[in-house]
Structure 1
Amino acid sequence: MWDKRVVEKIDAVLGSYVAACSFKNVANGLVWAFAGVYGPNRVNSRRLLWEELAGVMSCWDMPWCIGGDFNVTLYPSERSRGVYSRATMRDFGEFISEQGLMDLPLVGEISTWSNSRSWSRLDRFLVSTDWEVVHPDLRQKRMLRVCSDHAPIMLECNPFSGGKRPFKFENMWLKAEGFVDKVRSWWASYDFHGTPSYILSKKLQALK
């Protein structure tokens, strides 16, 4: 399932909804983990998925990449029709926040599953912030759906061939103790001269 010339498997964990492996890159020795997810169809079993996945992630303190069919949407806009549970979406969002994960931009159509009547975004990649530090230019790309009701998704770790890196801000940074004070001190330390609009522009550039 993986190229041994590229990565070496260190350990593995298999659960009811999650299959996870920790790896070591052959080229640079980086240790990281991947979890493949197949979420339950029953609403009352979804919390078992979050509990299991959180438990698996606690096994290894390293950068994480998680992907698969979660069988749940994160936002109402990710479903064309039908009944959805706000509590289920809230639980999904809280899991992402509590585990310090990032929901990556999706390039292409928003739907990853569809039939003749409706569509939903059930499949996605989530990564930890330390994974994003190693691979700063990340995005997930919806591929062409061929013979399944699910469209495959490719995780691109270096999709930008050139140019400036896009600015990113994570809401969970606001929960870090002292973060706001640190940003305030950085902002106050910048000293530029010129028109008010010029000074604001240069301060924003420096803060970024």
Structure 2
Amino acid sequence: MLCNELSGLHYLWDMPWCICGYFNTTRFPSGREGNSPLSSAMENFSRLIFDLDLPLVGGEYTWSNRRGGSRLDRFLVSSSWESHYPRVSQKRMPTVCSDHFPILLDCGGIIEAKCYFKFENMWLQVEGFVDKVRSWWHSCYFEGTPSFVLASKLRALKADLKMWNKDVFGNVEQQKKSLGKSFKP
């Protein structure tokens, strides 16, 4: 049942996606400690996730009962997800009290952004600010899924706010630095 649903997701949904879970099967006999033959379940699972599975960094297995181990937990990502995050990898983290090792999806960080966006409370003191934001929000139009439209509108609003902030307040970071220098003994 899960294999059918994953197969449908993989072949029918043309958007970036990522699934994480405990799949209770391994791809190959080498994914399990000890000698076990390749089962039909392993073969089907391996065929299904061939393009979706990521290498595991930091260890071979994600589950261990101290007598043996298996790689049961994993992230599966679509090829369009990998194209958005070309340095994506999954990392096995240390376990504290469970027989499962937590795994972390590392997307390689955000490359383009130099600093994160901050909403400044001083903007709310400017008369007409809320109306200005409302007009910016309604002036941009995007097509796609609701999450894509929301993300695109927020990105456009961020650009408008940054430009407006610079026009109204100037370079606030530079002003803060110069004020800090003038108060030093």
Are residues 135 and 75 of structure 1, via their aligned partners in 2, closer, same or farther at CA, if it must alter by over 3 Å? same
The structural deviation recorded for 1:70 is: 0.7
Distance 1:160 1:90 in 2: 36
Matched, 1:70 2:23: yes
The structural deviation recorded for 1:148 is: 1.1
More helix by share: 2
| TM-score normalised by structure 2 residue count | 0.53
Please name the residue that 2:52 is paired with: 102
Please name the residue that 1:144 is paired with: 94
Please name the residue that 1:130 is paired with: 80
Q: Which amino acid aligns with 1:86?
A: S
Distance 2:99 2:5 in 1: 26
Please name the residue that 1:185 is paired with: none
The structural deviation recorded for 1:95 is: 1.0
Distance 2:43 2:109 in 1: 31
Distance 2:27 2:38 in 1: 10
Distance 2:22 2:37 in 1: 17
Q: Which runs of 5+ in 2 are unaligned?
A: 112-185
Please name the residue that 1:196 is paired with: none
Preserved CA contact (<8 Å) 2:28 2:38: no
Matched, 1:157 2:107: yes
Preserved CA contact (<8 Å) 1:66 1:125: yes
Question: Secondary structure of the equivalent of 2:52?
Answer: strand
| TM-score normalised by structure 1 residue count | 0.48
Preserved CA contact (<8 Å) 1:139 1:159: no
Are residues 64 and 125 of structure 1, via their aligned partners in 2, closer, same or farther at CA, if it must alter by over 3 Å? same
In structure 1, which of residues 69, 82, 86 is the aligned counterpart of residue 39 of structure 2?
86
Distance 1:92 1:107 in 2: 21
Distance 1:160 1:60 in 2: 25
Please name the residue that 2:63 is paired with: 113
Q: Which amino acid aligns with 1:136?
A: P
Are residues 73 and 52 of structure 1, via their aligned partners in 2, closer, same or farther at CA, if it must alter by over 3 Å? same
Distance 1:157 1:104 in 2: 11
Distance 1:123 1:135 in 2: 21
> 1:14-73 CA deviation, whole Å, 9 max, x = no partner?
xxxxxxxxxxxxxxxxxxxxxxxxxxxxxxxxxx22013334556743111121111111
Question: Secondary structure of the equivalent of 1:88?
Answer: helix
The structural deviation recorded for 1:116 is: 2.7
- What does 1:1-208 correspond to in 2, within 5 Å? 48-56=1-9, 60-81=13-34, 83=36, 85-97=38-50, 101-158=51-108
Number of aligned positions between the proteins: 111
Distance 2:9 2:52 in 1: 17
Distance 2:16 2:54 in 1: 15
